[in-house]
Chain A
């Protein structure tokens, strides 16, 4: 019974951790879906959004503002920072690269990563800044059935709820709004979209802004979990196998991929890790992703693209 209880606890913990990875993966999906660009800078965007939020929050609270008011102003300021970042990226990096090869655009996002990482630490500081927006303690469920109960982290549950709301909002945005449909048109073909009058620079600004706002949401959850500091950028690496499994173009795929990776890596670490030296969860997600790639290269929910050569 103890063994089954432990298994359940790790499974639930893994699934919920996976949803937190999905929060970061969603930002990648948005930009890829709307512009065909793999945005290497998504992790750096989470860092920038988190630092802008937490530093404003600390500044305002230190000056006697109530916490709730400081949170609202902090979120508004961080959103404004992400909007400025989106404008600058579109104007000075992606705009001049319209109609360039996808690989060129990808390389440009690597450059954006370095600039965002350096600038955000230079402007807001490189320390570890605590952020406490959600509860971090745990529930212990089924204590009568399992000795010690099944531990479920409240923060992870909050992360799951937030991811659910985000996915619903994004699905509505993409399917039901004019801008959402325009985003999909731009993703299919920049030139064709321009020829039917879709303002590509505006669309790219919108998509980078939305990805920036998703990064801000991810930063609130991950910042509460880890504190806001540079290592948050490494989450981009955790999101990569999630994307490979879920597919680069599917919002629900990002969630399902996150669940598979989260549960898979946690179970592997606990049950497989001790026999091969431990510390395997960091790469185990990529092994899972590789297995999916071999069977279904477009991911479980990705679009199968057939190109004429």
Chain B
């Protein structure tokens, strides 16, 4: 009798222990993170991943989730490899009560691969500042959200900044601008936009590829020494960026005539070069380094309690801030979707609606603690980018200094390119473009 009682009690306790997480899971929003904390691109992948995870954890710790729905984050290591990224995606897409909320691969290669998969799985792909530039067109790319800026935005703004330094767009005529790029889908993305600007402004454009991972660039920079371009644009990632800066220093190319894309403008890109990096400039995906109100919250709710992934001294670094922003946009998309579908875990399809109707006004940005980091962004069915602004900052040897006001990319040049490229993609993949006037 006593034995039966113990057995039944054990079974009851066991069942309750098993049911509790299941019930908790039912009211949690599963948020997957494709990260790379190891491998050749880890120095850049780690701070971004820390930012992504810390913001989600902040939402849980400070607010108790999004309107009471706790976030359930999980990381998967991709090593920046497309095959591993796809493997992670397949493993994570159906997890949680309602499946994955959205994916952010932080890799143009993985983005290209997942762009083919997400329409079938109905999961949004948030690619803030990277990925296919033409995916701005939500009519053809309903699931991609290239928030804040594309590589075509970046290319256009870089040329605008050079024109400003030279004293006007008319001064670009006859100048030589070279692009040193990572020989991958990522590095090749800006080429059409730069060719279009070269045609319009009359400068000579030369594209110089560097093979992954970019540890050997001597011949490229010896060519640059001979060509003597007026400016070099740098489209690198990971170890390629500090190597470019070191090689530029070795051949005596002035660092203040190099402008990196926003993925070549963070601390891991300049710190290894030491004094050689001083003067180097890079675009900002609106934000740069520095601490804002959101960092005070992270300090209070995570760092001081030992719950943060970031080291205290690295909170405020460029890529950490970008990780925070990435998660903030995702969280606000979920919050927007909850207004329509209710305060509960939502499906990817419902969250896609949230992204498409996300309106980050100046007042909302201030409430969220991001005032000063970004300008307002508004997404729609037609526009999955939401913004066209970028700034430029310069490394002074110790820290990044913002040296320009906001530039707005010239949509007269870029919009036809987006339209043509997305129409071509749609025709290739046999996609019927949505009629955005009928979307609600």
Contacts and interface: CB of A to CB of B under 8 A. Distances in A.
Interface of A: 2, 6, 9-10, 13-14, 17, 117-118, 121, 126-130, 132, 136-138, 148, 151, 153, 225-227, 229-232, 234-235, 238, 265-266, 269-270, 273, 277-279, 281-282
6 contacts: A2-B226, A128-B268, A132-B274, A137-B250, A229-B40, A265-B219
Interface residues on B, range: 35 or more
B209 A121 contact: no
A122 to B, nearest CB: 8
A227 B274 CA distance: 11
Interface of A is mostly: helix
A224 to B, nearest CB: 10
Contact of B38 (A126, A231, A266): A126
Interface in B185-216: 207-211, 213-216
Given A126-B46, A127-B42, A128-B239, A151 B276 contact: no
B43 A229 contact: yes
Contact of A279 (B37, B210, B215): B210
A270 B219 contact: yes
Contacts of A282: 211, 216
Interface of B: 37-40, 42-43, 46, 183, 207-211, 213-216, 218-220, 222-223, 225-226, 238-239, 242-243, 246, 249-252, 268, 271-274, 276
The list of the 5 closest CB pairs from A to B, nearest first, reads A279-B209, A227-B272, A126-B42, A269-B219, A282-B211
A13 B215 contact: no
Identify the interface centre among A118, A136, A235, A238: most chain B CB within 10 Å of its CB.
A136
Contact of B251 (A2, A129, A138, A265): A138
B46 A136 contact: no
Which of B37, B183, B239: most chain A CB closer than 10 A? B239
B222 A10 contact: yes
B210 A121 contact: no
A232 B43 CA distance: 13
Nearest to B187: A279
B38 to A, nearest CB: 5
A6 B249 CA distance: 18
B222 to A, nearest CB: 6
Nearest to A129: B272
Contact of B272 (A126, A128, A238, A279): A128
A265 B42 CA distance: 28
B208 A278 contact: yes
Interface centre among A2, A270, A278 (most CB of B within 10 A): A278
Contact of A281 (B46, B216, B238): B216
B222 A230 contact: no
Contacts of A121: 38, 42
Contacts of B40: 229-231, 234
Contacts of B271: 128, 130
Contacts of A129: 272
B180 to A, nearest CB: 11
A177 to B, nearest CB: 35
A148 B250 CA distance: 13
B249 A151 contact: no
